Structure 1
Amino acid sequence: MGSTRDSKAVAAERQEIIRQAVAHMEGSDRSVLLRQIARMELRDDLRIPEALLAQLRTAAPNTPEFYGCWSVARSLLRVAQGASRAERIARLSLAHVYGGGTTARLLKGEPAVDVLGSLRETSERGGFGRQAFESIATFDGEALLAHAEADGARYVVPEDIDWPETLRALGEDAPLGLWVRGTASLAELAGTAVAVTGSRAASDYGKHIAGYLAGGLADRDVTVVAAIGHGADGAALAGALVRGEAAATPIGVHAGGVTGPYGEAMLRHERWILSSGGLVVSLCAPGVPLSSARANQRQWLMTALTSAVVVVEAAIGSRTANTPRVEGRPLLAVPGPITSSLSAGTNTLIRDGAAQAVMSVDDITAALARP
């Protein structure tokens, strides 16, 4: 009986330390709290990597080394108050088999762990789920998650406090989970967020306007969400980032894995976003390559994460011109020269009433304010 009481007391103490650590993430006493966590070695609860724990034990408080460790541990602490480890791994396993863009509709309201169990039973009977489960059986979700966490990434799911309200509002149409890099709160950054997107082959006009609008939104504490890459989206991210510490930091969205063998230009954008306090997100696990289908999913994710989408330039029939819509969230478009094929898509959206015309940051914020 004594050992049971002791284990319950330790568990309660651990939970209290986690609660305090999350509550005081930005407080002056965070070094003390984190040292307590390190001493208690919460590997089973938080999966804080052993190397990180070792650094936390030895680093002197209030030093760059210590706060570097803290930035990684902070994201893991935030996840600790959400879904169980088993549920998180079950969700990312299902996303691995069915694709990162798979929505919660697959679960039919059941825990992912139970859905995996049903899939196992079906496969053992030789049912339709056999091939899917064989794929899951060879997939080591625990190893993937542990490796990602060691690199500062996390897999956020609806049970987490970091799950954005914009995704929660989608219900069963929300993704199973989302890969995130960076130490900021996804829920907070996505609280007031606008996607600024456009053609990868954007004109100088398109890139200028994307950067101008994104910078103006960042100055008004609106998070800019854009694809990590070239063209209008890259210009939008740069426009938000150059505004400095007083402005809102952006969210960059990958079409491939949350980490991957990207080109130097994309990696440079990643580093800039993360060093500014922003986030890099993806529906895909680390290492998943880019593809056209995943680029479509990225466009959907940008819409799902935000309260409005601004299309700066888009050719007719392009992925950007066909940006998915979420009911109740405005689709906005910037008009362009009628002689430009890159503006034909946005001009058509406006002409057909599919999008509202915007020509300034004021137009965008006004659209956000309308019920």
Structure 2
Amino acid sequence: MPARALSERAARAALAAHFAPGQLAAELDEYTPAEVWDRRVRDDGSGLLASYRPREELAQAELTCSFVIPSDEEWPTALADLGPVCPLGLWIRGRERLPRLTGNAVVVTGNRVPTEQAVTRAHDFATALAEAGHTVTATLAYGVDSTAHQAAAEAGRASLAVLPRGLDGAHPHAHASLLRSVLDDGGAAVSLYRPGTAASGATLKASAVVLAALARAVILVEALDHVEAMYAAETAVDLLRLETDESEHITDRVAGCLALKYGLRTDRLVSLTTDQVLVHPEEPGVVGLQLAQAQRGRPRQLRRQPPQSGTCPDRARIGPNRQLRN
């Protein structure tokens, strides 16, 4: 009796647990996800993939959160802009809310150890966005990101959290209550990684790419000091979605920091004021005046690709993929 065919969902979840999308893009252009998995199992001399049970692993993981794939109606269409590095799937808590939240998502991110002025401005931006009908989107990191979620909650609006680890926990661990609050207030949490996956340098960078791609814009508050915010900024520039806080000296510091690290053209960084956030959310593609420039609907080739290894927790190692302390 022939073996039961692997579903697309189970195959994508299995592939995502072991490979980054860019490693599989060429094969997925030619074969189905189930066929790609079978090919990878046959070619794996270590036996690691042969011992993996895609159906059972998916069923166990979905006790914690849902695995959404591109054929699902909840799939965020904005991720198509990532082209060959578009995720194989997303792990979601609050799945039924995702289309509503991602339709007007705007990222507010920045310094993990912010000045008092930066905290105030992050709070003001997030409040203005929430009250204008946009979904405040951020990581759960200390500083600007957590302030953004708190501001949205205070405004009585749902927010969207993107995590660099499995959704069975928070990153950092100290913000587990913040994650619960996001979900209890009608928001959702998104991750590239199955439950049980710890945060690492690689997961932070890959998650930052998704963070930027999910949103209509990325608003940077204060000079950046964290790898995830830097990768989000790089992706936003590639997708023409970058906005910067124009408070005194801040824009120059952000531009200089990005230019130094990535060799970006600083004339592509556009400043944004709180007043420019106060617009009607039903205007397509508009958050502030500059967001009319945002272009969507066609894949862009990112100049800086997200990490192509370290997606499987069993393969964490010293270096950029090392697991992080919370």
With normalisation by structure 1, the TM-score equals: 0.66
Q: Following TM superposition, by how much is the alpha carbon of 1:306 offset from its aligned partner in structure 2, in angstroms?
A: 1.0
Residue range with higher mean Cα deviation, 213-222 or 357-366: 357-366
Aligned residue type for 1:283: L
Partner of 2:66: 154
Q: Following TM superposition, by how much is the alpha carbon of 1:229 offset from its aligned partner in structure 2, in angstroms?
A: 2.0
Partner of 1:140: 53
Residues 1:361 and 1:255: Cα distance change in structure 2 (over 3 Å): farther
- Out of 185, 200, 209, the position equivalent to 2:121 is 209
SS of equivalent to 1:89: helix
SS of equivalent to 1:357: strand
Q: Is the Cα contact below 8 Å between 1:224 and 1:251 reproduced in 2?
A: yes
Residues 1:154 and 1:198: Cα distance change in structure 2 (over 3 Å): same
- Distance in structure 2 (CA, Å) of the matches to 1:328 and 1:268: 32
Partner of 1:107: 28
SS of equivalent to 2:62: helix
Tell me if 1:325 matches 2:235. yes
Partner of 2:10: 89
Q: Following TM superposition, by how much is the alpha carbon of 1:163 offset from its aligned partner in structure 2, in angstroms?
A: 0.5
SS of equivalent to 2:268: coil
- Distance in structure 2 (CA, Å) of the matches to 1:275 and 1:178: 20
Q: Is the Cα contact below 8 Å between 2:109 and 2:219 reproduced in 1?
A: yes
Partner of 1:165: 77
Q: Following TM superposition, by how much is the alpha carbon of 1:217 offset from its aligned partner in structure 2, in angstroms?
A: 0.7
Residues 1:321 and 1:361: Cα distance change in structure 2 (over 3 Å): farther
Tell me if 1:362 matches 2:276. yes
Partner of 2:176: 267
Aligned residue type for 1:141: P
Partner of 1:238: 150
- Distance in structure 1 (CA, Å) of the matches to 2:172 and 2:226: 27
Q: Is the Cα contact below 8 Å between 2:22 and 2:84 reproduced in 1?
A: no
- Out of 193, 198, 201, the position equivalent to 1:284 is 193
CA deviations over 1:206-251 (Å, ceiling 9, x no partner): 122112111111111111110012111111111111111xx3x111
Unaligned runs of 5+ in 1: 1-83, 124-128
CA deviations over 1:17-76 (Å, ceiling 9, x no partner): xxxxxxxxxxxxxxxxxxxxxxxxxxxxxxxxxxxxxxxxxxxxxxxxxxxxxxxxxxxx
- Distance in structure 2 (CA, Å) of the matches to 1:218 and 1:102: 37
- Distance in structure 1 (CA, Å) of the matches to 2:234 and 2:27: 20
Q: Is the Cα contact below 8 Å between 1:104 and 1:176 reproduced in 2?
A: no
- Out of 250, 254, 257, the position equivalent to 1:345 is 254
- Distance in structure 2 (CA, Å) of the matches to 1:330 and 1:266: 28
Q: Following TM superposition, by how much is the alpha carbon of 1:328 offset from its aligned partner in structure 2, in angstroms?
A: 4.5
Residues 1:197 and 1:263: Cα distance change in structure 2 (over 3 Å): closer
Q: Is the Cα contact below 8 Å between 2:21 and 2:85 reproduced in 1?
A: no
Q: Following TM superposition, by how much is the alpha carbon of 1:368 offset from its aligned partner in structure 2, in angstroms?
A: 2.6
Aligned residue type for 1:140: R
- Out of 213, 233, 245, the position equivalent to 1:304 is 213
State the structure with more CA Rg. Answer: 1
- Distance in structure 2 (CA, Å) of the matches to 1:183 and 1:272: 16
SS of equivalent to 1:369: helix
- Distance in structure 2 (CA, Å) of the matches to 1:160 and 1:117: 23
- Distance in structure 2 (CA, Å) of the matches to 1:103 and 1:238: 38
Residues 1:234 and 1:287: Cα distance change in structure 2 (over 3 Å): same
- Structure 1 runs of 4+ aligned residues shifted over 4 Å read 99-106, 261-264, 316-319, 346-351
Q: Is the Cα contact below 8 Å between 2:92 and 2:188 reproduced in 1?
A: yes
Q: Following TM superposition, by how much is the alpha carbon of 1:369 offset from its aligned partner in structure 2, in angstroms?
A: 3.1
- Out of 40, 45, 60, the position equivalent to 1:130 is 45
Q: What percent identity do the matched residue pairs reach?
A: 28
Aligned residue type for 2:194: A
Q: Following TM superposition, by how much is the alpha carbon of 1:312 offset from its aligned partner in structure 2, in angstroms?
A: 0.7
Aligned residue type for 2:12: R
Q: Is the Cα contact below 8 Å between 1:226 and 1:251 reproduced in 2?
A: yes
Q: Is the Cα contact below 8 Å between 1:258 and 1:282 reproduced in 2?
A: yes
- Aligned residue pairs, count: 274
Unaligned runs of 5+ in 2: 260-264, 278-286, 295-326
- Distance in structure 2 (CA, Å) of the matches to 1:367 and 1:104: 33
- Distance in structure 2 (CA, Å) of the matches to 1:103 and 1:212: 42
Q: How does 1:16-95 map to 2 (within 5 A)?
A: 86-95=7-16
State the structure with bigger RCO (CA 8 A, min sep 6), 1 or 2: 2
Q: Following TM superposition, by how much is the alpha carbon of 1:299 offset from its aligned partner in structure 2, in angstroms?
A: 1.2
- Distance in structure 2 (CA, Å) of the matches to 1:343 and 1:203: 16
- Distance in structure 1 (CA, Å) of the matches to 2:23 and 2:151: 32
